[in-house]
Amino acid sequence: MHGAPGRARRPASSLPPSRVPTDKEPVPTDPTPSPWRLSVAPMMDWTDRHCRHFHRLITRHARLYTEMVTTGALIHGDVPRHLDFNPSEHPVALQLGGSEPADLAHCARLAETWGYDEVNLNCGCPSERVQRGAFGACLMAEPELVADCVKAMRDAVSLPVTVKHRVGIDQVDSYGFVRDFVGTVALHGGCEVFIVHARNAWLKGLSPKENREIPPLQYAWAHQLKRDFPQLTIVINGGINRPDEIAEQLAHVDGVMVGRHAYHEPWAMADWDERFFGAAARTADCDAVEDAMVAYLQRISAAGVPWGHASRHMLGLRNGQPGSRRWRQVWSDSRTKASMPEVAQREARAAMQATASRQNPAPVQLTGAAS
């Protein structure tokens, strides 16, 4: 299969906690870094196949995840619509939402057939809609059921089966809760990779957005999990954005998962391969990435897919550049979407350059003046 099997364990990092590299300094890596060393989180309505193709133009090595797909959507719905992806996306994982072991096993087999590198079980989403389906974060209250789900999937496929979860639910403020959850799912389910969103999930009283912001971060609990279960791969998620923050976490755990920051500031991923995977420095700039994305938009448009479904994911590409707001406005304009992608690109770049010129006029060159 495409993905690296989740059997071999490697130490988290040789970097001592007291020595964190600067923003541009490479982080020491093992000769073969963990497949989970750095990844982009599954995000509903965002990390579809168009978004993942765009992200892959920026980082070649970070692991990418689908939006959560429910077992019901795959069993009763349009499988190709949910599972089709571009080969360029590898390594890519399918995140499943469900709580019936037999259904999850069936969907894991579909993931393997379609060529995914990993199956991930969502035990962290706190939304009421997900709770009504009896999966997501509420599953943390039933670790034995989660273990049964993981075991059923592991028995069905050769892919790594991983779990993404919180450190607790509601106001349970106890490291022992998440420790026992991980221990049970590892021992009885055979799970070897845990992606830990280091906040509690409040099942009542908070929106999904508030659940990403209000419950306090508990990084120390994720670090303790790695110490208590050194044989497991522990990946940390939640509020970790800057390269120095990623490097600091890699001194304690095996991997870091970045969420909304990677989506809103995609060019932040441009140095990941060199810095965290020891790869050669990238040569493509923002212009080259935009060019490649426009070529992709042309291909999907020719196949009958409205290209605006994909272009929305690259709106953060030029954040911080002079004229970037005007560039985004042109790409977002519904009238622009009636034209071909290459026309939209010309208009967006021209508008950006015109705005940048007004914001930063060239200095006047004085000639013949006495010195």
CA dist 213 → 44, 67, 171, 208 (Å): 17, 20, 15, 9
CA dist 60 → 24, 63, 180, 274 (Å): 18, 9, 36, 10
Domain that holds residue 230: 38-277
pTM of the model: 0.88
Query: Which domain CATH number covers 223?
Result: 3.20.20.70
109 and 54 within one domain: yes
The answer to whether residue 14 is domain-embedded is no
CA–CA separation, 251 vs 27, rounded Å?
10
290 and 173 within one domain: no
Domain count, the chain: 2
The answer to whether residue 16 is domain-embedded is no
CA dist 252 → 45, 108, 162, 220, 257 (Å): 31, 31, 19, 9, 14
Q: What percent of the chain has pLDDT over 90?
A: 78
Q: Which of 280, 273, 205, 287 is nearest to 243 (CA)?
A: 273
The answer to whether residue 21 is domain-embedded is no
125 is catalytic: yes
272 and 290 within one domain: no
Instruction: Tell me the H-state helices in the chain.
Output: 49-58, 71-76, 79-83, 101-114, 128-132, 143-156, 175-189, 208-211, 219-228, 243-250, 260-264, 272-277, 286-302, 308-311, 324-332, 341-359
The single residue of 51, 123, 125, 138 carrying the catalytic annotation is 125
Written as one string, the DSSP assignment of 244-305 is HHHHHHHTTSSEEEE-HHHHHSGGGGGGHHHHHH-PPPP---HHHHHHHHHHHHHHHHHTT-
Residues in the chain: 371
226 and 314 within one domain: no
Query: Which domain CATH number covers 342?
Result: 1.20.120
Burial degree of 32 (CB within 10 A; 0-12, 13-18, 19+): exposed
Q: Locate 103 and state its tokens.
A: 């259904």
236 and 336 within one domain: no
What does the pLDDT profile of the chain (371 residues) look like in tens digits?
344 333 333 333 333 343 455 556 666 666 678 999 999 999 999 999 999 999 999 999 999 999 999 999 999 999 999 999 999 999 999 999 999 999 999 999 999 999 999 999 999 998 877 777 778 999 999 999 999 999 999 999 999 999 999 999 998 889 999 999 999 999 999 999 999 999 999 888 888 888 888 899 999 999 999 999 999 999 999 999 999 999 999 999 999 999 999 999 999 999 999 999 999 988 789 999 999 999 999 999 999 999 999 999 999 999 999 999 999 999 999 999 999 999 999 999 999 999 999 877 655 444 444 43
334 and 225 within one domain: no
Q: Which of 352, 354, 291, 346 is nearest to 321 (CA)?
A: 352
